[in-house]
Structure 1
Amino acid sequence: MTNHNLKHDEQESEIHGKGYPFHITQEENQELRQKAASAIPSPVISQASSFDEYVQQLMIPPVVMDMARKAENMRLSPWEIAAMRKHLAPAKHHDKKIGLLRKILHKKAKADPSHPPYIRVACTGKSHYDYLAEADGHIHKPLHKKKGDVGSPVVLEIWPAQHYSPIHSHGETTGIVFCLAGQLDVMLYGSLDGNAEKLGLTTLTPGQCAWLSKDTYPVHRVFCPLDGGEGKTGPGFINSTEEFGASFHVYLNEDETPMMPHDEEEHHDDNEQHHSHSRNAFDFIKEEDSKKGTFKTHSDLSWHVLRRVLAETDLT
């Protein structure tokens, strides 16, 4: 998308009062937040403080509640957050050097300018841009330069301010989205479609958890509403601040969730399990033409690599 087209889209969006990424007015924003707040089952898992909230959360599947309880005390430490901010910061005027995380953002934006990029960190296995840590001198043992593993069940996602995901489905997995740092907005949709009904909008802060299953809230879009600096949020845009949100994701396939109801009939494609029914690939709506695409869930960094990079980062 050219800058001219981007500016035209932004102007059109402003005229109609419906900006990126959710394309809703302020009135619709309030209505959708009220819908999410009263939805049964609740799309957000938190400590119930009223009878209504208890009832809303009573309907959440036990396997989901178990995942949320195991994650409830997780947080990024202050030094990890500070190091991530340093690696997300834009280049200073007198110094064109940028950190590892912003390097990955630039590479991803160049490969796919349809939406602002975010970073997926696999908590197991290898990942696509691990080799950049070696190039920066953080890792001295030679690393692979091939695409990383697909389908990690546990992922850390780093969301630069004003960046967002496409509308996407998590197929038939069951999982949680647990906020670790910053702030994240999650829009829930009734189906995987560019014109799908919006079921509700909710904001996650550290310690709060959204969830999904194949039958409940499987389609959503995630957005970090923090200050992104100059420019408007939209396709091709990369922010100019170090602000970010972070979330911890767990996605379990059907055969890994014995407490969830399963279809009796297995899904097959040429005698093999169809990827979109597992965490190996998720379907999404393309920003440029609203058509459906499929994303193979390889990750950008491995957690063991990122944590070493963060630990070696000079915070002075």
Structure 2
Amino acid sequence: MKGYNTKKRTLVTGGAGFLGSHLCERLLAEGNDVICLDNFFTGTKDNIAHLYENPHFEVMRHDVTFPLYVEVDEIYNLACPASPVHYQHDPVQTTKTSVHGAINMLGLAKRTKARIFQASTSEVYGDPEVHPQPENYWGRVNPIGPRSCYDEGKRCAETLFFDYQRQHGMDIKVARIFNTYGPRMHPNDGRVVSNFIVQALKNEPITLYGDGTQTRSFCYVDDLIEGFVRLMNMPAEFTGPVNLGNPGEFTMIELAEKIKVLTGSESELIHKPLPTDDPKQRQPNISLAKETMDWAPAVTLEQGLKSTIKYFEQLLRG
């Protein structure tokens, strides 16, 4: 039911963040009425300023750890700081955002009979013993470490989503997001792509943690948002969780060297100790997404890095 309006009313929590802003843009382009909800802890108005003139776009400053009363048809729950620098700043609030936020958004979805999407994470797999990680792998997570507020918060949110579905017949979708990069990443979020690009553009030393042989898989933001929308539009019986990421695997040294070439940087590579509980390998098995949603990443690492570097060049010029 869409009231007197023929447009789908969609709520995006964390809508002013890196992923949220791209999702709001995509949903508006598809003809939705979009409520962008954010407390602006890591999100920024700069990410969504170009959308303000759209009469079907609305911004609400609100924290998901408090209940929300709006009328919506769909909810994308993206609210949560997602980089170690930000989620370890206030770990108790990070857990509250994942857990209380999930409870509040599920409560809203239950009242409005809305379909609800949870942005989960590859961090639910922890430092994995299975490689690449399929959705039926339960993970290897330290419940009391410095990363636990995020890892366990997201694991508990998944529990809540599936318990609400079993107990109340809720219409849920759960995506496990692997490393994603692109324009509008926060320049000081401590993530490897933004770190390396900013350091390279400033000709500062590029910081590698450990020996630099640990691997990550990098998905360009446009590919990820396509996965979000496809998952949300799947039949109700397909709930996920489903891995969304790029299975191409690169060592940190390979990434640093590629960014140096693309930026023409003269930065040297330096090594620092590996942070506690930092996973050594991270690569998605995306067979489920391919088979059920016909989804796979289309943007190569080089193409994506060029767009991301261009964004950071403009940002650094002010």
TM over 0.5: no
Larger relative contact order (CA 8 Å, sep ≥ 6):
1
Q: TM-score range by the shorter chain?
A: under 0.3
User: Higher helix share goes to which structure?
Assistant: 2
TM-score (norm 2): 0.24
TM-score (norm 1): 0.24
